[in-house]
Amino acid sequence: MVKAIVGANWGDEGKGKITDMMAREADIVVRFQGGANAGHTIVNDYGKFALHTLPSGVFYSHITNIIGNGVALNIPLLFGEVQSLVERKVPSPKLLVSDRAQIVMPYHILLDQYEEERLGGKSFGSTKSGIAPFYSDKYAKIGFQVSELFDEELLAEKTQRVCELKNALLEHLYHKPVIKQEELLETLHSYRDMVAPYVCDVSAFLDRALREGRTVLLEGQLGTLKDPDHGIYPMVTSSSTLAAFGAIGAGLPPYEIKQIVTVCKAYSSAVGAGAFVSELFGEEAEELRRRGGDGGEYGATTGRPRRVGWFDCVASKYGCRMQGTTDVAFTVLDVLGYLDEIPVCVGYEIDGEVTTDFPVTSRLSKAKPVLEKLPGWKCETRGIRRYEELPENCRKYIDFIEGQIGYPITMVSNGPGREDIIYRQSPLAKR
C-alpha cells in the first residue's frame, strides 16, 4: 500500500513529524521531489533534527529510505546529513538512491545566488540551494543523472557542453569566474564514489515491495501553494508539490496511492515572498511567531523568520482539493492556547465581492481576508491523547475548520514529539 504525506499550504506544515510518526507502521519512505531547499523538523528520542534531503524514516532501523528520481539530489549534503545523524548516535539509515535521480551541481547553487543578487529587490526569495537552476537544466536536458556518473565517455562529452553553456552566462551576464572542465569532472568522480554503494533501480525495487505487501510512504516537500502549476506562481518552487507527482517522482503507478494525508497547521505560516492573504504583522505576528512551531517559527533551512497568519480556510480547502486528500493532519494546535479569541479566514473579498474559491495569483494581490472569530480555550493542551479530553472550545475550533474545508481531520498534533498525536473520528471520513 502506498500513502502520501503532503502539505496543504506554503510548506512548513509539519510533514516531517507526521511522516516520522507514520513510518512506525511502514516499510519504506520515499522522497519524491524537491531538494535541500526545505527542512523537515523532527523531535524524537534521539533529539531534535532538521532533515533537508534524507527521508523522515531515517530514525527507524526497519525503514528503507529512498531518494526518488524526482529529487534534486545534492550528494555531498545528503551524505553530510547521514554523518551528522551517526555523530548524534542515530544508527546509520538504510538508504537507496534512484539511478534516475539528477544531481545538484555546485554551479547550480552559485547561479541561484548570482541571479538573486542580479534581481535585487525583485528576487523570488530563493533559499539559494540551486533548485531553480537545477530543474531548469533537467528540463533543458543538460543535467547529470546518477546513472551517467558511471559512463566516462558520456561525462567527458557532457561536461564540455555544460561548460560552454554555463561559462557564457557566468562571464557575460554575471561577470563571475568560469567553470573548468577538468575540475567539473573531478567533482563528478567524487560524487560517483560517494553514491555508488547506494544506487538502485528504485522503480523495480518498489514494484517488488508492493507485490510483497509492503507499505510505502511518499514524503512531499513544501505544499500545494508552492506548486509551479497550481500555486502562487511565480513565488513557487520548481517541482510539483502534489501527491499525484509522487507516482512520477518515485516511479510508481498512480493507482497505487491509496491514502493521501494532507498536513495543515492550526494557523498559517510561510517562508519567502508571495501572496499570503491572512498574514499578520507587528506585535500580534511576533507573539505568534515566538510561540509557534517547536521552537518558534523560523525556517529549518534558512533560519529566516516565517511569516505567520490566521488559519486560511480558502487556501486550505483549495490545497486539500488539489492534493486529493483522504485525511487531514491538523498540527501545532497547542500553540493557540494563549489566545482569548482566534480569528479564522473564511473568505476573500476581491473588488467588493466575497469568494471562498482560491483565485489565481494576480487576483490574490487584491484579496482582503474575511475573518470569523472563534472563542479560545485559554489553557495548555500538550500531553492530551484523547480527542474527548480537549477543551470544548478547542474541539469546536477543529469542527469549525473541518466544516469550512470539507475534508476529514483524522489526526490532531498537539506537540512536537512523535507521541503528541490525537486520532479523531471524523464525520467526513469515508467508511
Angstrom distances, CA of residue 405 to CA of 168, 243, 328, 369, 423? 49, 18, 10, 16, 19
Task: List alpha helices for 151-260, DSSP H.
Answer: 152-172, 181-195, 202-211, 243-250
Contact 258, 3 (CB under 8 A): yes
Query: From the candidates 12, 27, 99, 312, which is the catalytic residue?
Result: 12
- Report the alpha-carbon distance of residue 73 to residue 19 in Å, rounded: 20
* Closest listed residue to residue 100, CA positions, set 249, 246, 206: 249
* Closest listed residue to residue 263, CA positions, set 318, 327, 309: 327
CA angle 67, 228, 191 (to 5 degrees): 30
- Report the alpha-carbon distance of residue 38 to residue 126 in Å, rounded: 11
Q: Is 40 a catalytic residue?
A: yes
Amino acid residing at 85? L
β-pairing, 409-413 vs 421-423, is antiparallel
Q: Which three cell numbers stand for residue 29?
A: 519512505
* Closest listed residue to residue 308, CA positions, set 321, 296, 320: 296
Beta bridge partners of 373: 343
Beta bridge partners of 350: 353
* Closest listed residue to residue 268, CA positions, set 210, 214, 330, 326: 330
- Report the alpha-carbon distance of residue 68 to residue 3 in Å, rounded: 15
Q: Is 27 a catalytic residue?
A: no
Task: List alpha helices for 7-74, DSSP H.
Answer: 15-22
- Report the alpha-carbon distance of residue 17 to residue 414 in Å, rounded: 11
Query: Residue 331 is inside which H or E element, if any?
Result: strand 327-331
* Closest listed residue to residue 279, CA positions, set 271, 269, 266, 288: 269
Q: CB 95: neighbour CB atoms within 10 A? A: 20
Query: From the candidates 27, 40, 52, 108, which is the catalytic residue?
Result: 40
Look at residue 53 and give its three-state secondary structure: coil
- Report the alpha-carbon distance of residue 28 to residue 212 in Å, rounded: 12
Contact 245, 239 (CB under 8 A): yes
Active site amino acids: 12, 40
